[in-house]
Structure formats: structure tokens, C-alpha cells
Amino acid sequence: MKIINYISTLAIPIVIIVIIFYGILDKKKIYDIFIDGAKEGMGIVINIFPTLLGIFLAVGVLRSSGLLEIITNIFSFFTNKIGFPSEVVPLALLRPISGSASLAVATDIMTTYGVDSKIGLIASTIMGSTETTFYTIAVYTSSIGVKKIRFVLIAALIADIVGMLASAIMWNYIL
């Protein structure tokens, strides 16, 4: 285990050194290229910041207003009938929107029910098999100026729903 920790600690510095040596051997102006990349990165940050701010604001409003609990109660009537535990519904609702909010909900689920419980296993499988769809689409499309995201959004949400349902079906039949 110590060797893996040692290798992982050295991985990034070694990659940086290899890139620098490659640039020197290729006779590139390494620092100028780095500065140009940093400027381009700051431009991308400025372009996507309003989108990210809107997503974070929406997640904050959902969590603090109690609306998430109301929606969870409405959906849990249906989800319990298909074997999808109501305790996992908040995770299913937040996962496509925010990675940090869904991680907080998943951590709470693991703490409350345990990592080896059916609910904990369903939650961890959802975290591994789904994506923060709205965040990812917002970041990538706004950084390149794409406005029409309808088909990408539909396909990504279908993939999220399939991942969530598959996790519940799988753990209901295994346990």
C-alpha cells in the first residue's frame, strides 16, 4: 500500500517534468504556452460562470426551501411500488443537477443506513452509474457556445433514469 501511495504522490510532478522536458527537446517556449493556456482557461471560466452560478443557486433553493422533501414525498408513493426506496429519491432528483449536492445526500444515506444495506448499495450504484447531467451539459455547451441542447439533454436524462432504475432492480434481486 505504501508503494501505491508513493507512486500516486509522484505521478503529477513526474507528468509535469516530462511535459517540460518534451517542450525543451521540441524547442518550444514552454512558459509562453503555459501563459496562453492560462488566459484561455480564464476566458472559459468567465464564459461558464453565469451558468454555474444559476445551477448552484437552483440547488441551494431546492435544498433549503423544503421543496425537495415535498417532491420526494410525491414521488415516493410511485417509487416504493416499483422497488425504488423512497430514501434514495432525493439522490435521484439531485444527481442530474449537482455532484456536490448528490454526494452530500449519498453520504447522509450511507451514514444513516450503512454502506452494506440495500439502500446504501442502491445509492452508491446510482452515484457510479449516473452523471451530473445538467452541470456537464451546461459547462461543455456554454464553453463552446452551443445553444440547442434538447437532444443531448433527452439522451442524457434517459441514460440517468436507466442507471437509477437498473441499480434498484439489480440490488432488489441480489439481496
In contact, 121 and 175? CB cutoff 8 Å: yes
**Which tens digit of pLDDT belongs to each residue from 82-105?**
889 999 999 999 899 888 888 888
pLDDT of amino acid 174: 85
pLDDT of amino acid 47: 82
Residue 86: DSSP 8-state: G
